[in-house]
Amino acid sequence: MFSGSIVAIVTPFKGGEVDEEKYRELIEFQIEGGTSAIVPCGTTGESATLSVEEHARVIDIAIEAVNKRVPVIAGTGGNSTREAIALTKHAKESGADATLQVTPYYNKPTQEGLYQHFKAIAEAVPLPQVLYNVPGRTSVNMLPETVARLAVLDDIVAVKEASGNLGQMADIVRLAGDKITLLSGDDNLTLPVLSVGGKGVISVVANIVPKDSADLVKAWEEGNIAKAKELFYKLLPLCKAMFYETNPIPVKTSLALMGKIESGMRLPLWPMAPANLEKLKGALKDYGLL
């Protein structure tokens, strides 16, 4: 159902509040660059620091600005199943095409708990659901067998895999590749994930270079493996630069240096250390972005 380069879009702030004007401009930048779907309120969108009202507003703006030109996959997950259902209901009522559902963080559910959590959301709100496995953030890893169980449910259509474990991702394809779409959750692994049966990436680096990220997946889809490899290795240093510090600090700093947003993120995130900032500037200059 979803493929290509999908951006986990940042949430720009101005004076500590959501900068709606710059947010709309970023969405246009993505669509012009060939991005195949927009994900508001993911990890990169600082969803954990948004109030419930802001969360809803950011999703509403994305849906309105996109205006059905590409799908909007609204981040509505959480570590409370009730809260995730409430956020998902709002996204559906606002016109989102799907939701991104992170594995519940901090409370560390069992595999059965994960299954029941996502199943409860799917039953409460009939809307396509993209599972999001990111154990480095959540302290829980959703196993391929659990993904395969969930893939039987009609509204669970894809999984964003950010475990870093390519073997685990291959197992998802082996167990349920006919029922669920595998998407890379790590720009550093986009090409390897495509090679084991993935269909695209939910990307951080696409925030600053949407066209190159989109062209990489498109080249693979068209069977132009040489071009896909060329773009992957061109992007790789920039992808790594996006994680010199905790995401989304480097990508938001990059967008500010490029003049696309004002610099700023919410506490407890903090501006980059001087040495890392200089490294980031070097990576952006090497890529021709500064």
Q: Active site residue: 22, 23, 115, 132, which one?
A: 132
Q: Active-site residue among 22, 23, 115, 160?
A: 160
* Matching residue, tokens 């500010």: 256
Q: What gap in Å lies between CA 50 and CA 41, rounded to an integer?
A: 9
Give 75's strand partners.
100
Q: For residues 160 and 183, is the Cβ–Cβ distance under 8 A?
A: yes
Closest CA to 129 of 153, 107, 105, 109: 153
Active site residue 160: yes
Q: Which residues pair with 18 in a beta bridge?
A: 13
Which of 9, 86, 87 shows the shortest CA–CA distance to 43? 9
pLDDT in tens, 200-237: 999 999 999 999 999 999 999 999 999 999 999 999 99
Is 105 catalytic? The answer is no
Ranges of the chain with pLDDT below 50? none
pLDDT for 249: 98
Q: What CATH code is assigned to 4-225?
A: 3.20.20.70
pLDDT on residue 272: 97
